[in-house]
Amino acid sequence: MDHISELIPKILSKRGLLGEAKAALVVFHSKAWLKQELPNLITEIVPKKCKDKTLFIEVANSIAAQECQFVTSDLLNYLHTECELSNEVENIRIVRA
């Protein structure tokens, strides 16, 4: 009997939703990490989507953009090592809201 952790990716892949699910997982982990690392700016820094292996983070102002820029390499490292999402995200792009 297959384990649930093996069944879900098979079913999502069969339905064509595996990529979207992994992209949502990247955004989820990014939000959690940023909340922990930059708690004062969590309302100004919002990961929005992951498309074409690029995570898009929306910032409200230039101060938030600068603070976010300082931690992007750490976030990318976290996503690759801790979350094992190296195949899903390669770049982080910061965009103004």
Domain count, the chain: 1
Average pLDDT value for the chain: 94
Q: How far apart are the first and last CA of the chain?
A: 48
The alpha carbon of 60 is separated from its chain's Cα centroid by a whole number of angstroms, namely: 18
- The torsion of the CA quartet 90, 19, 38, 78, rounded to 10 degrees, works out to -50
- pLDDT for res 91: 96
State mean pLDDT over 27-55.
Answer: 96
In a domain, 13, yes or no: no
The pTM of this model reads: 0.89
- DSSP string of 56-67, one letter each residue: EEEESSHHHHHH
In a domain, 9, yes or no: no
CA 2 – CA 34 distance, rounded (Å): 35
Range of the domain at 47: 19-96
